[in-house]
């Protein structure tokens, strides 16, 4: 018998892939699942701020800002292998550096968004945590 309470998502590492060839680039991100407390907290903070301002009108800009907040909360680290770099450097991970990266490179933001949307990938195949 399978205890369904033992089936829980876990953080995972994903390799950034080239948007055309889908080849691995050598930059890896550690992602928390969208169901994690950290990601849920960031989403709630954003929504509460919007509601407090009584801005019930949804705009493309507000949806993009919400997506950036979600990605910022979900990405906890990065690492480089081989020649992969950002502007000729391999900077240490920081939330500021992450925000600069995803706001100046939509394809990286879109990649991370897709990976976050792949809910099954955050679970192990064995059926239990």
Domain residue spans in the chain? 8-119
pLDDT below 70 — which residues of the chain?
54-56, 125-129
The predicted structure's pLDDT at residue 106 = 96
- Rounded CA-CA distance 32/119 in Å is 11
The predicted structure's pLDDT at residue 126 = 62
pTM metric for this prediction:
0.86
The predicted structure's pLDDT at residue 2 = 80
Q: Enumerate residues 6+ apart whose C-beta is below 8 A from 65.
A: 46
């Amino acid at each position: 018998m399978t205890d369904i309470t033992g089936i829980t998502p876990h953080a995972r590492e994903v390799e950034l892939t080239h948007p055309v060839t889908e080849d691995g680039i050598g930059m890896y991100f550690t992602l928390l699942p969208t169901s994690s407390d950290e990601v849920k907290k960031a989403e709630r903070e954003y929504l509460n701020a919007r509601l407090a301002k009584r801005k019930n009108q949804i705009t493309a800009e507000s949806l993009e800002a919400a997506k950036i907040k979600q990605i910022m909360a979900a990405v906890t680290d990065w690492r480089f292998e081989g020649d992969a770099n950002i502007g000729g450097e391999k900077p240490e991970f920081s939330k500021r550096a992450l925000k600069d990266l995803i706001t100046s490179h939509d394809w990286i933001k879109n990649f991370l968004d897709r990976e976050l949307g792949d809910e099954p990938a955050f679970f192990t195949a064995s059926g239990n945590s």
